[in-house]
Structure 1
Amino acid sequence: MNRAHDEEFHRYVAARGPALLRAAMQLTGDRGEAEDLLQAALVKTYLAWERINDRGSVDGYVRRAMVNTQISWWRRRKLEVYPTDVLPDRPVDDHTRRSEMHDALGRALDRLPRRQRVAVMLRYYEDMPEAEIAEVLGVSIGTVKSTVSRAVAKLRDDTALEHDFAEVHAIDTDS
């Protein structure tokens, strides 16, 4: 690959790496595995970089590479759980609580007005800087800041979200 493509790829990884790592975390549930998965997907993307004509679709390419790689890893793994009469010392994390909290937060975000929801999603889920969000939404940076601030305040005051989180916490402490 030529030097210009190398630099373009490095800029892409620097800009989108954190958001892609969060996507990998959603696939694996483990930070170390997520980093390995993202690295494998970025290697595939780097090798195909010159063939990717639409630079706007690179995130989709990387995410698809992560999904395909994760599926391949699942298929290759041997059974690593062996029945035993002895219980492990530490409890097993069933991910139920995290899933219920994620669902509750999703419902709370759905209750926000569209512009606030989009601003929060771009800021915190996609980890975009305020200037980039302003450009995407076609508004000023100050508008982005105030929109995100109002959205976060609404989420803090959302009694339904507070109730959902309290229920999840109660379920977690009961077990």
Structure 2
Amino acid sequence: MAERERGGEVRPSADQAVTELYAAHWSGLVRLAWLLLRDDLAAEEVVQDAFIAVHRHWDGLRDHQAAAAYLRRSVVNGARSGLRHRGVEERYLSREAGEPTAHARRTEASAEDRALQSEATSSMIAALGRLPQRQREVLTMRYYLDLSEAEIADALGISAGSVKAHAHRGLATLRDRMEATP
């Protein structure tokens, strides 16, 4: 059910708005989270948590048109938190086992993962995964989500100039690594 705001503008209810946002942005946000986390279940969980947060805080959002940007920012922050948590788990498990672990959890390859591996882009994805976190985030949002510099800056909480710098450095590193690959 839609509600009227002060200016007479009709604002959708939280249920209606989140349903529309979900239909429009779910798959792109899961792809973003997966590219940052490399874990199917964790990526879906991060995105689901972001949608729950939007629904919960819908009435408190000043600019309902910016909900998609809020979702992207929430997904990036959730992925960062997941990576920090994963690092803590791996350090704990390696201390307990007395040996280093590459990844504490492995997941079965998703259909998206299998499709990416079957294409020539798998080496690019691997090279992207070796970039520093901020460069990886910027390039992922730019080329996989097709976001503008301003949208990326907003999602990451950095300036547009920083987005340009991280993109430039990341692309240069990727170019060097891809040219060195046979």
Q: TM-score, normalised by structure 1?
A: 0.46
Judging by fraction of residues, say which structure has more helix. 1
Query: Which of the two has higher C-alpha Rg?
Result: 1
